[in-house]
Amino acid sequence: MTTKKTINRRSFMNMTLAFAALAFVAPVHAEAVDFSRKTIEFVVPFGVGGGSDTWARFNAPYLAKYLPGSPNVVVKNVPGGGSITGANQFASRAKSDGLSVLGTSASTQFPYLLGDARVKYEYTDWQVVLAAPTGGVVYINSDLGVKSLAELGKLKGQRLVYGSQGSTSLDLVPLLAFRLLGLDVNHVFGMKSRGEGRLAFERGEANIDFQTTSAYLKSSIGMVEEGKAIPLFTMGVLDDAGNLVRDPNFPDLPHVSEAIEIVTGNRPEGVEWDAFKAFLIAGFPAQKLMVLPKSTPAPVVEAYRSAVRQMREDPDYQAGKDEALGGYEQVTDSAGEALFAAGTTIDPEARDWVRALLEKDYNTRF
């Protein structure tokens, strides 16, 4: 559903907390849990220095501070298979004592949603204690002569170039968005990061690009200010009713559903839109998830959720979260559960459609 509603940054922070009203359950008391003199492994299925590693290392000290007994929380990087290796390992080895927690991302959710044969983990075997949204912006080279989204029709018949990390990475979301917009885009695979894709754009090797909010504000906004790039639309955020609305970081930019309606004249619907929305939610509103095994006792789960609630009020957390999290509020309790469910579920027909598209047009193998 497309909505013209816009929200400001403070409203969005309040809005994410309001998710808890969807299915509030009184918390289980966690007083009996004590992690004193314990070490908790925060498993990150990626290498050091990436977005998920940065996210985990931002959260780890606050978990250590607010979990009962102030345990030592260490980030354990288990890279490989685009995060599949570490997630598989956690699924087979993690115990239900709360001493090991996994941080997943869109790169973990996507292979699961696509039914990748390498995936041995099952999200229904886990329970969420924190969900971290993010956003993103699509922009084009100003040399194309398009000054705004409304002029995108000028690109009809033109071949655009996008530097991509791969058809099943986070770049699957812009790939599907470009199709819905009717754009002819050559996806050049092999980029090691979105940062490398941005560099290709800066060098003129690509003329359309996408960056997450934090990367856009840090590294891409300068090109916009210099007149070298034109922002088109954002990936949007979800409101408390689960509707796609404008990103509070960019209230003047339409979200992707608005963009599709503006360009095509039609509200997006059908199996292609259903497929896109599943990956959109997994890639942005529910991009990062902190999970424990489902068999973890309720008091231990509540200890983690309580730590999240407390750390969000910490002055140091508040001072650092804009840079570390792009200004988006992390959520827990029923709010986290709602995002967890939305970000790890796809209609089988929509999944089959995406798989067929990627196999036929992009030579993807599952």
How many residues comprise the chain? 366
Residue 29: its pLDDT value, please?
A: 54
Residue that finishes a domain, picked among 228, 255, 276: 276
Considering the domain architecture, whether residues 69 and 156 belong to the same structural domain is answered as: no
Domain boundary pick from 276, 299, 322: 276
Ranges of residues in the chain with a pLDDT under 70 are: 1-31
DSSP symbols for 126-175: EEEEEEE---EEEEEEGGG---SGGGGGGGTTPPEEEEES-TTSTTHHHH
Residue 360 resides in a domain? no
The answer as to whether 366 is a domain residue is no
Please write the tens of the pLDDT for every residue from 235-282: 999 988 889 999 999 999 999 999 999 999 999 999 999 999 999 999
CA 57 to mean position of chain CA atoms? 17
| Whole-angstrom distance, CA of residue 330 vs CA of residue 363 | 36
Q: What are phi and psi of 202, to 5 degrees?
A: -65, -35
pTM here? 0.86
pLDDT tens for residues 205-233? 999 999 999 889 989 999 999 999 999 99
CA angle 57, 61, 67 (to 5 degrees): 125
Q: Please give the pLDDT value at position 24.
A: 43
Residues 148, 232 share a domain: yes
Of the three residues 213, 245, 276, the one that is the final residue of a domain is 276
Q: Where are the beta strands (DSSP E) in the chain?
A: 39-44, 72-77, 100-104, 126-132, 136-141, 160-164, 185-189, 208-212, 229-234, 237-238, 244-245, 288-293
Q: Would 293 be classed as within a structural domain?
A: yes
The CATH code of the domain that includes 28 is: 3.40.190.150
Q: Is 272 helix (H, G, I), strand (E, B) or coil?
A: helix
Q: Domain range holding 341?
A: 9-134+283-348
Is the domain of 50 the same as that of 81?
Answer: yes
Are 41 and 112 part of one and the same domain?
yes
Amino acid identity, position 238: L
CB-based burial, 202-218: b 16+ in 10 Å, e otherwise: beeebbbbbbbbbbbbe
Task: Say whether both 249 and 289 belong to one domain.
Answer: no
Residue 119 shares a structural domain with residue 238: no
Q: Is residue 294 part of a domain?
A: yes
Q: For residue 361, is it within any domain? A: no
DSSP helix/strand/coil, 207? coil
d(CA 311, CA 63): 7
- Looking at residue 352, its pLDDT comes to 97
* Residue 189 and residue 129 share a domain: no
* Same-domain pairing of 166 and 268: yes
CATH number for position 190: 3.40.190.10
When divided into structural domains, the chain yields a total of 2
Whether 210 maps to a domain, the answer reads yes
Do the domain assignments include residue 230?
Answer: yes
Separation of alpha carbons 353 and 342, rounded Å: 19
- Specify the pLDDT at position 252: 96
Residue with tokens 């000290």: 61
266 & 208 share domain: yes
Gyration radius (Cα) of the chain, Å: 20
String of DSSP letters for 83-141: GHHHHHHHHHH--TTSSEEEEE-HHHHHHHHHT-TT----GGGEEEEEEE---EEEEEE
Same domain, 256 and 140: yes
Q: Tell me, what's the pLDDT at 31? A: 59
Instruction: Please check whether residue 341 lies inside any domain of the structure.
Output: yes
The verdict on 57 and 102 lying in the same domain is yes
Judge if 162 and 67 occupy the same domain.
no
